Amino acid sequence: MHKIVSAIALGTLLAVSSGAALSASHLAGDRQSTWADIKSWTHEKKNDAVAAGRKLIAATDRQLEALQAQARKAGTETSEAHKKNMAELQAKKAAAAAELAKLEKAGTTAWTGTRDAFAAAYKDLTESSDKAAAKK
């Protein structure tokens, strides 16, 4: 499962890197550079930043769908744990999406705080989804 997640992340990072100046280090799946790149987004590149954020959230959606598919194949014993994990991941995805919506509306003065809030929410989401994938 972790290989599926890595492949999804790699594909997304390839697509995102052309849209909002995310670095080539993403090709290696370097999450730290992803967050560093998000934090380097400027208000002048707001549209590119929001588009890249949408692609990151979409990649996470695909990752969650893959986890769901794998859980359906698993036995009932893992079903309860999976439901709990998925509820947590969905809540974190919603939080990241909400921060992205705020980012889209952010003006120059609120940009840095809003951008950093999205970066933190996205980081929390990806760390949790990586942990869930590693458990499967």
Determine the Cα–Cα distance for residues 55 and 105; give it in Å rounded to an integer.
17
Q: Distance from CA of residue 41 to its chain's centroid?
A: 16
The tens place of each residue's pLDDT in the chain, 136 residues long, gives 444 443 344 333 333 333 344 433 343 355 556 767 787 888 898 998 999 999 989 988 998 888 888 777 776 666 777 778 888 999 999 999 999 999 999 999 999 999 999 999 999 998 888 887 777 5
Q: Which domain holds residue 50?
A: 2-135
Helices (H), the chain: 2-19, 31-40, 46-73, 76-105, 111-135
Based on the structure, what is the number of domains in the chain? 1
